[in-house]
């Protein structure tokens, strides 16, 4: 577990080089089958590890994650390392600067291990939209690891890295965490600076941790959060010190269960595991309150309009001029844009750019984009009302466990519907976490989602830890594939 790893490194029982070598060996052994990584720079990782060991040897003060290898979703800029967003568009892009979260990890002493696969530009729920490779679920290689941060989740679940970073725009951390049986957390919008995060939908995107346990998620969030003037939506709030209070259970906890969540389409195993988890909270002294989020059913429609509109605007920057793919053959400037973008973007990205451009175009803006923004407020108001009655909302993460690879790729709408339980946290700007809560009858992990009011990450993590301590799900790992 993460805290043991940190104490072994601190005490000198384990060197960072030995730990990093172990990760690299496991990547060499397992990642051919899993496909979690797009790029691993062995030499660079070992160099970072050796530096930490040397500094520790000299008795220097080290950061909280000193010597811990961390995989980075390929959407966060890292100086000198390819940052492709799993897109042909950015095939040869090597950023000249670090994302804020990457800078913070370097300051914390982490070893940046490699670049994790994802759905292209973070658009997708299965990792099948990557232009480079499909990532497979370490629990069952015929299943998806989820997406879009599927590589980050699979890398932790497959034991190839102790921790990883992902991003969550509509569930892209929580859903793969649930599919892969690890802990994944989306912080409150604004908690982590998005500087250097390649933008998909700017009002929804948020960076967050993957870990095998709640402590790891808390430690990683602690390392990357904080105000950054380079992202004007990053909030200036004092750090809460999650790892310090993690072991303190919450007394008098009121847990909300959403009436609208237990409906048709929810897998029986997932519903059962969620119900059992609610019983665990009851046995820990929590009061369970039946609540309603009346606008839940409109989340997906509002989300796909808002996210696609923002994406169509954000992805306008890929013009074949400053960086990214430029077509070899074209007829004039405008055609160069269109040809480069036509060749560089994959199908799902094109679909969302098209939907967004349409919904923002003259004559349709009010009917689609503006209406979605109004519904967004209704969704937020539902949560504000619910949180007058409860401290946390407990729900499924995804309506089903990890689905078979290829099963939803021909039906974009069916794929979108997989995000029904996670999307509202992005629209409302809430923190949410997925923690393992059981297995389906065919042996696939199931995740439990906890959501809290904005900026109540401390409450969220303490509540997650209460559950983790009372159960044993996070101590399980898949039998190594291959």
Q: Which residues are catalytic?
A: 73, 148, 172
Closest CA to 296 of 396, 423, 449, 446: 423
Q: Which is nearer to other proteins, 58 or 322 (CB)?
A: 322
Overall size of the chain counted in residues: 482
User: Binder to other proteins among 46, 51, 106, 358 (CB under 8 A)?
Assistant: 358
The residue range among 43-51, 68-76, 218-226, 427-435 that interacts with other proteins, by the rule CB under 8 A, is 427-435
The residue range among 216-224, 251-259, 264-272, 326-334 that interacts with other proteins, by the rule CB under 8 A, is 326-334
State the nearest-atom distance from the C-beta of 47 to other proteins, in Å. 21
476 interacts with other proteins by CB under 8 A: no
Question: CA-CA distance, 2 to 163, in Å (whole number)?
Answer: 8
268 interacts with other proteins by CB under 8 A: no
DSSP assignment of 200-228: SSTTT--EEEEESSHHHHHHHHHHH-S--
Question: Would you say 402 and 145 are in contact if contact means Cβ atoms under 8 Å apart?
Answer: yes
Question: CA-CA distance, 257 to 274, in Å (whole number)?
Answer: 10
Q: Which is nearer to other proteins, 372 or 452 (CB)?
A: 372
x/- string (CB under 8 A) for other proteins, residues 292-311? ---x-xx-xxx-xx------
Residues 185-214 within binding reach of other proteins (CB under 8 A): 189-190, 203-204
Mutual angle of helices 42-57 and 16-34, in 10-degree steps: 160
User: Binder to other proteins among 320, 445, 447, 453 (CB under 8 A)?
Assistant: 320
User: Binder to other proteins among 3, 8, 29, 233 (CB under 8 A)?
Assistant: 233
User: Binder to other proteins among 279, 335, 384, 442 (CB under 8 A)?
Assistant: 335
The residue range among 19-27, 171-179, 271-279, 315-323 that interacts with other proteins, by the rule CB under 8 A, is 315-323
x/- string (CB under 8 A) for other proteins, residues 97-126? x-----------------------------
Question: Would you say 445 and 139 are in contact if contact means Cβ atoms under 8 Å apart?
Answer: yes
Question: Would you say 110 and 156 are in contact if contact means Cβ atoms under 8 Å apart?
Answer: no
The residue range among 8-16, 264-272, 347-355, 437-445 that interacts with other proteins, by the rule CB under 8 A, is 347-355
The residue range among 98-106, 166-174, 217-225, 362-370 that interacts with other proteins, by the rule CB under 8 A, is 362-370
Residues 75-94 within binding reach of other proteins (CB under 8 A): 92-94
Q: Which is nearer to other proteins, 89 or 113 (CB)?
A: 89
Question: CA-CA distance, 475 to 256, in Å (whole number)?
Answer: 26
341 interacts with other proteins by CB under 8 A: yes
The CA-atom distances, in angstroms, between 240 and each of 3, 223, 426, 455 are 18, 11, 21, 10
State the nearest-atom distance from the C-beta of 359 to other proteins, in Å. 8
| Token digits of residue 448 | 């439990």
* Total residues binding other proteins (CB under 8 A): 73
For 62, list phi and psi in degrees, rounded to 5: -115, 160
96 interacts with other proteins by CB under 8 A: yes
x/- string (CB under 8 A) for other proteins, residues 368-387? x-xxxxxxxxx-x-------
The CA-atom distances, in angstroms, between 86 and each of 74, 135, 148, 180, 349 are 7, 11, 10, 20, 11
Q: How would you label 392-401 residue by residue, b for 16+ Cβ within 10 Å and e otherwise?
A: bbbbbbbbbb
Question: CA-CA distance, 452 to 432, in Å (whole number)?
Answer: 7
313 interacts with other proteins by CB under 8 A: no
Residues 13-72 within binding reach of other proteins (CB under 8 A): none
Distance between start and end Cα atoms, the chain: 23
| Token digits of residue 338 | 């269109």
For 209, list phi and psi in degrees, rounded to 5: -90, 150
User: Binder to other proteins among 61, 251, 268, 413 (CB under 8 A)?
Assistant: 413
Q: Which is nearer to other proteins, 268 or 413 (CB)?
A: 413
């Amino acid at each position: 577990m993460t805290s043991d790893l940190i104490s072994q490194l601190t005490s000198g029982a384990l060197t960072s080089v030995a730990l990093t070598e172990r990760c690299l060996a496991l990547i060499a052994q397992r990642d051919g089958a899993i496909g979690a990584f797009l790029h691993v720079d062995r030499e660079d990782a070992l160099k970072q590890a050796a530096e930490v060991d040397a500094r520790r040897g000299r008795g220097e003060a080290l950061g909280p994650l000193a010597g811990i290898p961390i995989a980075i979703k390929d959407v966060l800029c890292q100086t000198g390392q390819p940052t492709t967003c799993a897109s042909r568009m950015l095939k040869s892009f090597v950023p000249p600067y670090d994302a804020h979260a990457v800078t913070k990890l370097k300051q914390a002493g982490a070893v940046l291990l490699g670049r994790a696969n994802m759905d292209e530009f973070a658009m997708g729920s299965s990792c099948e939209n990557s232009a480079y490779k499909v990532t497979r679920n370490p629990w069952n290689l015929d299943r998806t690891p989820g997406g879009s941060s599927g590589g980050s989740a699979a890398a932790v679940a497959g034991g190839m890295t102790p921790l990883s970073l992902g991003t969550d725009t509509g569930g892209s951390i929580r859903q793969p965490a649930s599919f892969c049986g690890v802990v994944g957390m989306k912080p409150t919008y604004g908690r982590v600076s998005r500087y250097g995060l390649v933008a998909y939908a700017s009002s929804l995107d948020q960076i967050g941790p993957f870990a095998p346990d709640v402590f790891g998620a808390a430690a990683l969030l602690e390392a990357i959060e904080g105000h950054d003037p380079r992202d004007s939506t990053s909030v200036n709030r004092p750090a809460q010190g999650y790892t310090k209070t993690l072991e303190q259970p919450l007394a008098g906890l009121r847990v909300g269960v959403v009436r609208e969540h237990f409906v048709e389409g929810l897998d029986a195993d997932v519903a059962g595991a969620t119900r059992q988890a609610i019983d665990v909270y009851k046995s820990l002294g929590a009061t369970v309150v039946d609540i309603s989020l009346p606008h839940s059913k409109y989340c997906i429609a509002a989300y796909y309009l808002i996210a696609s509109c923002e994406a169509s605007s954000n992805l306008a920057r890929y013009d074949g001029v400053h960086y990214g793919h430029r077509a070899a053959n074209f007829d004039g400037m405008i055609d160069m844009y269109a040809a480069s973008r036509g060749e560089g973007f994959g199908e799902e990205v094109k679909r969302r750019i098209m939907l967004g451009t349409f919904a923002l175009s003259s004559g349709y803006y009010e009917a689609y984009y503006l209406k979605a923004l109004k519904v967004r407020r209704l969704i937020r108001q539902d949560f504000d009302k619910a949180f007058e009655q409860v401290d946390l909302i407990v729900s499924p993460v995804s309506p089903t466990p990890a689905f078979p690879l290829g099963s939803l790729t021909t039906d974009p709408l069916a794929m979108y519907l997989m995000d029904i339980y996670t999307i509202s946290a992005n629209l409302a700007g809430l923190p949410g976490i997925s923690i393992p809560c059981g297995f389906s009858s065919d042996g696939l992990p199931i995740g439990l989602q906890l959501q809290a009011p904005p900026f109540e990450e401390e409450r969220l993590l303490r509540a997650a830890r209460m559950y983790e301590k009372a159960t044993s799900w996070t101590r399980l790992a898949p039998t190594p594939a291959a």
